[in-house]
A and B are shown apart, each in its own frame.
Chain A
């Protein structure tokens, strides 16, 4: 009896620590984003003089006449990087999922391009990205893709492709080949079998892989920092509020909050698919 209670107490403590661990930075971020300049370095959770200045600085930096004006390094309203990031992440996701699906299909059904090559594609994720920076910069300079959001989208699609392939291969492997053969027997072309049988069944997998790739592209900083100049994506913009000149902690917190809204909304909209996606292996056999 006592042991049971003790076990429960321990579990509660562990859970409480986990909750505090995850929630605190978010709480701190929200709180900070509503604090005035003078309050940024104080530990109180509730702001004494709640203000929207940080947000005004984000969306319309020119209208600010207060102390922030000293940091004119960041003058672009955050809406522009936000739209850029949306375009980059969405493009990367769509490209990676389309190419990834057909690669995964070939790998699953015809063992092409061979298990070694397939494993080899993971290499791009095993080495630290810093290793790739120099060659990529040279390539991008040659291809005139520096400071081009499409270039960044292509780069993200290429580096996340391996996730799409591996996730979708797992899903396609779980579909018996007979399910396609049945369609062939009924007069479908091989392509129709893919589009009318395989794709509808692996759609949850595409959603899971897509969200994953979207988030990776959304938060990627290193390549974005190196390969852009004026056309910066959101992750770079967020980093810019803290510079060598000075640190706009409150503005950065507000920017981080804004940048986490899009993934949150997407995650919420597709959560139904996410659940099917994560439990796909439970199809009756």
Chain B
């Protein structure tokens, strides 16, 4: 049963297209991630869902009923904004009780509900304190508690963990997953971090410049990005993209050349034309250093090394092209070394030079 449905949602302000024909179906109890760089329209989309912003065209359905024109507070949704609404002038308790007091509930009922949600989120100890004394994680949890205390049917989270350190953010994401298991509320989660979005959502929408580029499971998006822009956005560290052309079409693969280098890819594409221009994309993780001699072995010179945790990110220069590779920290290399490498042919993706669509 479809719980929430967006049909052809567009938003235009002046002559600027903020959102272009967004379609989304959400099942009850799902977590949907909306990922996109800042300014891609994530916040606007969430505000359209909760009713704070009216779409220029398109409809929002809740359990089959058109709610596009329903005022926000009648929808029964909650939203945690990028700057979480935790008011600095009052205690955690008063912050969480705020929506209940608006609904004019009795103080006994309010007390019961606030304590219950504080217990659930593990923030009983901050109830009597003011927000200026909170840690980043407590601050976000109070905001989520305020959103949950009204028992919403849908929880919209707009980059709730954006201002936290990487470590705490990771912990908060796991915590949110646990919480979702416990209470099963439907969540739409917007983030600029594709990895965070993919680790949280069971469906992920990639939103670039207001256009819905892809909607699918995290694995689908990771393995089969719809086009080069999606691949480029979700790849961390940054994707290697080189321009090349098809030199060979055969039964067991295709040969491509780029910058006087040849590469054979054991993969078939539906339309293989000799001389066709394309983009060759591969993630830095998929470079294999110190490859044995063979057809697809390339040579480069190390021009830069960055240490990143257990790995090092190496920039290689070959014939004027620079590619980046993630290699183990144990590999002893220095700047200026000549290195041979190849690509994991399974992981190389080819994109049409004009449409940037994935060639399959």
Chain A interface residues (CB < 8 Å from chain B) = 176, 178-179, 181-188, 192, 196-197, 200-201, 203, 283-285
A283 touches B88 (CB 8 A): yes
B83 at the A/B interface (Cβ < 8 Å)?
yes
A186 touches B139 (CB 8 A): no
A176 touches B81 (CB 8 A): yes
Distance, CA A184 to CA B75, complexed state (A): 12
Smallest CB–CB gap between B161 and chain A, Å?
Answer: 14
Smallest CB–CB gap between A180 and chain B, Å?
Answer: 8
Smallest CB–CB gap between A280 and chain B, Å?
Answer: 9
> Knowing A178-B81, A181-B81, A285-B83 touch, does A187 contact B73 (C-beta < 8 A)?
yes
B102 at the A/B interface (Cβ < 8 Å)?
yes
Smallest CB–CB gap between B189 and chain A, Å?
Answer: 16
A-side contacts of B341, CB under 8 Å: none
B102 touches A186 (CB 8 A): yes
B-side contacts of A187, CB under 8 Å: 73, 99, 102-103
B225 at the A/B interface (Cβ < 8 Å)?
no
For B85, B139, B150, the residue with the greatest tally of chain A CB atoms inside 10 Å of its CB is: B85
Q: Which residue of A lies closest to B131 (CB)?
A: A284
Q: Which of A182, A188, A201, A284 contacts B79 (CB 8 A)?
A: A182
A-side contacts of B81, CB under 8 Å: 176, 178-179, 181-182
A185 touches B87 (CB 8 A): no
Chain B interface residues (CB < 8 Å from chain A) = 47, 50-52, 72-73, 77-79, 81-83, 85, 87-90, 98-99, 102-103, 131-132, 134, 139, 146, 150, 163
Task: Please name 15 further chain A to chain B contacts, defined as beta carbons within 8 Å, in addition to the given A181-B52, A186-B99, sorted by A numbering.
Answer: A176-B81, A176-B83, A178-B81, A178-B82, A181-B79, A182-B79, A185-B72, A187-B102, A187-B103, A196-B98, A197-B87, A200-B87, A283-B132, A284-B88, A285-B83
Distance, CA A145 to CA B137, complexed state (A): 59
B-side contacts of A196, CB under 8 Å: 98, 102
> Knowing A284-B139, A285-B163 touch, does A184 contact B73 (C-beta < 8 A)?
yes
B-side contacts of A184, CB under 8 Å: 52, 72-73
A178 touches B85 (CB 8 A): yes
Distance, CA A151 to CA B258, complexed state (A): 84
For B73, B132, B139, the residue with the greatest tally of chain A CB atoms inside 10 Å of its CB is: B73
